[in-house]
Chain A
């Protein structure tokens, strides 16, 4: 994860693998190593009083996991036509969260030197969850910091506050 947070991209040119998926009509990618597994949309139990992007709880072979809809969270209009909706189970240091996406596209392999940073524009909406973009033949793939996009830090913070109290 961290090797493309570095400012000097030429430092490490190791190839990394990413999983590319679609949200609405847009392509996004996250490091493959964060992915625990990919499953089809499961039955869920709604979570009372939770923010809108929380779809519910699911039972993954005995483990209870929260499912979130990244499209709702990022204000992306879902692709109504998609029939390959899937859930990516992402692992954040042992904490697992399921992320609903429109479809899984492929696994990308490229070096960190091929990642371009986003130009900073004043008019942009909050976009600190975008790590960079990868240019491909037709269009762009946005490299996503899932943890930031879902405010995982906030969960952990809340959790530590709860424990201290």
Chain B
């Protein structure tokens, strides 16, 4: 395939994915506002666009299917088919199918799909079979063969749209040609303003005055089209790399400023350069940040589908959609979030009957709220359901052998047990939440992002799941340590405290190794030089500095030669050739321009796991 053609197709698929997200939102809105003319117009335009462009770039499968969908929407638009929830459901299914096609086409351009069942559903809908009342039955099967185009159908939007299609896809199917011929008739009546004529972007913002009463959708589109550009992540990463290098060079210059450089102007310039560099670094780092909006909006679909299946009525509230987070983090967050939201609707909220019984509103509420807190992004999923009963959890945990019946733990701690592997309170696997993925997986996934999750609950009035995530995975706060001649970085999140041990607090016992008495707790001490098999400066243990880290198996003291300083470092992935090296989460370039490894303490100590004896003792 020609590169150009391939690029064109990929561009289309990328664009279509975005478009589909917008349409899904529109469909969901439509469900709440069935007779919103503008929404239907909008959806029609989307479908029409998708059909035109997909055909133009050579995805016949998509075009044919979209044509069917468009047909249905046209009928709705013309009031020939009554719109109701069933029809919207069909439309949503179509949206899913198109999404499915687009996703798979990304892998293989020549894939084919079976959409027969849906097409039949569509034609049923077109024929008005889902209508609650008998709609005016016309011969509706071949709508685009209909030459009688009424004046109100050809509204301004459509005119602009057709104009656009003429420019983009060259009007390559009968439908457009016919509409165009109809259009000519009205051209004289409806003068198009120049702006409308130039309206050739596929999802361009319509200039129709009718749209002003839908500020939401309008704003979305404005952001997507007028004020943003799409840049590949790899480019941003490259930019970040260069900026990082720039900052390092800058700091070298800065240091020289007081030694070798005497020229006034040069010194002043270096100072200004420094400011500029910092600004550039801030901006380049912020390029990776995206609003959580897109992910939160996907949740509205999850809530809708889940509540439909369970016959619950649920209001979803989204707050703080504009809160920004690193793109990579956001992508990895989606799956755990889906799980939590499903859980909230399935397990959290009561049935309508139960809700009425306890005097709650029949509609359940789920609130997803995103906000910044320090260096973290926090996402809260709150439901006003029945809450989690610690007694049930406790009984379950005892039954599953997670805790012993005699252990005294607080209710607070009991609740957190739902994140324990192998814990699921619902007996039968339900269609909705029970997909073999438990809350423990959610927790593991979030911890992989160096985040944390906890749940707070109040019996009878609901639960809150609170996820805290670092704003970016690209930069972390690190402690620079010295081992022999080399420097390493330990993430601050893994450091509990650091101290210079007293000789009296250090003990050695054969079989246990070195131990440190830390305010009455006995911790195993590991020399980092031994863990890394490096030469250290040959200091005695009590001359070294120990860093107390919180590993999974409990606290552990790590002896290093020196702690140099604390600073933010940019994480760079290790190359494939050394990625299998245990104990490191990446590398970073330090102020001297040399790369240094970032240590993952947990990973590093797990290689030599012979401290268990001491751990048991200290526990």
Chain B residues lying within 8 Å of A45, measured Cβ to Cβ, are 486, 594-597
> Are the C-beta atoms of A49 and B533 separated by less than 8 Å?
yes
* Cβ contacts under 8 Å, A96 to chain B: 575
A64 with B595: in contact, given A95-B575, A97-B577 (CB under 8 Å)? Answer: yes
Q: Give the docked Cα–Cα distance between A58 and B575 (Å).
A: 12
Say yes or no for A50: interface residue by CB 8 A criterion: yes
From A43, A48, A152, name the one whose CB has the most chain B CB atoms within 10 angstroms: A48
Does residue B578 face the partner (Cβ distance < 8 Å to A)?
yes
Whether B95 is near chain A, meaning CB under 8 Å from some CB there, is no
Contacts of A57 in B (CB 8 A): 587, 595, 597
Q: Which residues of B contact A159 (CB under 8 A)?
A: 576, 579-580
Nearest CB in chain B: distance from A157 CB, A: 10
Q: Is B241 an interface residue (CB 8 A)?
A: yes
Binary A-proximity of B575-606 (CB < 8 A = 1, otherwise 0): 11111111100010100011111000000000
Indicate whether A135 reaches chain B with its CB closer than 8 angstroms: no
For B589, list chain A residues within 8 Å (CB). Answer: 59, 62, 64
With known contacts A49-B581, A62-B245, A64-B589, A95–B572 Cβ distance under 8 A? no
- Shortest CB-to-CB span from A127 to chain B, Å, is 22
CB < 8 Å: which of A48, A58, A59, A152 contacts B532? Answer: A48
Cross-chain contact B245 with A61 (CB below 8 angstroms): yes
Q: Is the CB of A65 within 8 A of B575?
A: yes
Q: CB of A63 within 8 A of chain B?
A: yes
Whether the pair B241, A61 counts as a contact (CB closer than 8 A) is: yes
Which one of B534, B575, B581, B587 contacts A97 once the chains associate, using CB atoms below 8 Å? B575
Looking at the complex, which one of B486, B572, B580, B582 makes contact with A64 (CB distance below 8 Å)? Answer: B572
Whole-angstrom distance between the alpha carbons of A158 and B582 in the complex? Answer: 12
The yes or no answer to B113 lying at the interface (CB within 8 A) is no
The answer to whether A46 touches B575, judged by C-beta atoms less than 8 angstroms apart, is no
**Residue interface mask B82-93, A partner, CB < 8 A = 1:** 000000000000
| Residues from chain B with Cβ under 8 Å of A46 in the complex | 486, 534
Q: Is B175 an interface residue (CB 8 A)?
A: no
B595 cross-chain contacts in A, Cβ below 8 A: 45, 57-59, 64
- State A154–B575 Cα separation when bound (angstroms): 13
Report yes or no: B532 in contact with A66, Cβ–Cβ below 8 A.
Answer: no
Closest CB in chain B relative to A41 CB, distance in Å: 14
Given known A-B contacts A45-B596, A58-B595, A66 and B241 have beta carbons under 8 A apart: no
Q: Which of B572, B578, B597 has the most CB of A within 10 A?
A: B578
B580 close to A162 (CB less than 8 A): yes
Inside 8 A of B524's CB, which chain A residues have their CB? none
- Given A62-B241, A62-B245, A63-B241, are A47 and B594 neighbors across the interface (CB < 8 Å)? no
Return chain A residues, CB-CB under 8 Å to B486.
45-46
CB distance from A59 to the nearest CB of B (A): 5
Q: Are A155 and B532 in contact, CB atoms less than 8 angstroms apart?
A: no
Closest residue of B by beta carbon distance from A54: B578
Q: B578 to chain A: which residues have CB within 8 Å?
A: 47, 50, 54, 66
CB distance from A56 to the nearest CB of B (A): 8
For B243, list chain A residues within 8 Å (CB).
62
Q: Which residues of A contact B336 (CB under 8 A)?
A: none
Is the CB of B438 closer than 8 A to any CB of chain A?
no
B244 within 8 A of partner (CB): yes
Q: How far is the CA of A79 from the CA of B587 in the complex (A)?
A: 32
Inter-chain CA distance A155–B241, complex, in Å, is 24
Inter-chain contact B577/A66, CB cutoff 8 Å? yes
Of residues 139 through 161 on chain A, the ones whose CB sits less than 8 Å from some CB of chain B are 150, 152, 155-156, 158-159
Q: Is the CB of A64 within 8 A of B242?
A: no
Tier of interface size on chain A: 20 to 34
Taken residue by residue from 560 to 583, chain B's Cβ proximity to chain A (1 for < 8 Å, 0 otherwise) reads as: 000000000000101111111111
Within the complex, the shortest CB–CB distance from A68 to chain B, in Å, comes to 8
| Contacting residue for B594 out of A43, A62, A97, A158, CB 8 A | A43
Once A59-B593, A62-B242, A95-B575 are accepted as A-B contacts, the answer to whether A49 and B532 lie under 8 Å apart by CB is: yes
A155 touches B581 (CB 8 A): no
Docked pose: A65 CA to B587 CA in angstroms: 10
Return chain A residues, CB-CB under 8 Å to B594.
43-45, 59
In the docked arrangement, what's the CA distance between A49 and B584, Å?
A: 11
Residue of A nearest to B485 (CB): A46
* CB-CB under 8 A for A48 and B533, given A57-B587, A61-B242, A64-B587: yes
Q: Which of A43, A59, A152 contacts B577 (CB 8 A)?
A: A152
A54 to B242, CA, bound (A): 25
Q: How far is the CA of A65 from the CA of B580 in the complex (A)?
A: 15
Taking the closest CB of chain B, its distance from the CB of A149, in whole angstroms, is 13
CA distance A47 to B486 in the complex (A): 10
Chain B residues near A58 (CB-CB < 8 A): 595
Closest residue of chain B to A46, judged by CB? B486
Q: How far is the CA of A59 from the CA of B575 in the complex (A)?
A: 12
The CA of A158 and the CA of B576, in the complex, are separated in Å by 8
Q: How far is the CA of A61 from the CA of B244 in the complex (A)?
A: 9
- List 18 A-B pairs, Cβ < 8 Å: A45-B595, A45-B597, A46-B534, A47-B597, A48-B534, A48-B583, A49-B582, A57-B595, A59-B245, A61-B241, A62-B241, A62-B243, A64-B572, A64-B595, A66-B578, A97-B577, A155-B576, A158-B579
Given A43-B594, A95-B577; 7 other pairs, CB 8 A cutoff: A45-B486, A45-B594, A48-B532, A48-B581, A62-B243, A66-B575, A162-B580
Q: Which 9 A-B pairs have the closest CB atoms?
A: A62-B241, A62-B245, A48-B532, A57-B595, A158-B580, A155-B577, A155-B576, A64-B595, A159-B576
Interface residues of A (CB under 8 A from B): 43-50, 54, 57-59, 61-66, 68, 95-97, 150, 152, 155-156, 158-159, 162
